[in-house]
Amino acid sequence: MQPIDYKEYIEFNPEIRFGKPVIKGTRISVYDVLQWLASGLTHDEILSDFPQLTPPHIFACLAYAANKERIIKVA
């Protein structure tokens, strides 16, 4: 499987959700998706509840979080 380029699926727009990263074309934030996963929802449950999302959207959120974790600097 090819690594997903989260920039294809995630955008920052100061007019949407105060500039938080969101899935392009939606108001669903990366945080929302990560929180649902952390709460135990499966990919299928998320996709069923939010039909505008696709599996690559979920993987893009995970890739975004992984990248953010990678670049955090320890003081």
Nearest partner of 47 among 32, 31, 58, 59, judged by Cα: 58
Distance in angstroms (rounded) separating the CA atoms of residues 9 and 41: 21
pLDDT, tens only, 50-72: 999 999 999 999 999 998 877 66
pLDDT, tens only, 14-55: 999 999 999 999 999 999 999 999 999 999 999 999 999 999
Which string of DSSP letters, residue by residue, matches 2-64?
Answer: PPP-GGGTEEE-TTSGGG-EEETTSS-BHHHHHHHHHTT--HHHHHHH-TT--HHHHHHHHHH
User: What does pTM read for this prediction?
Assistant: 0.87
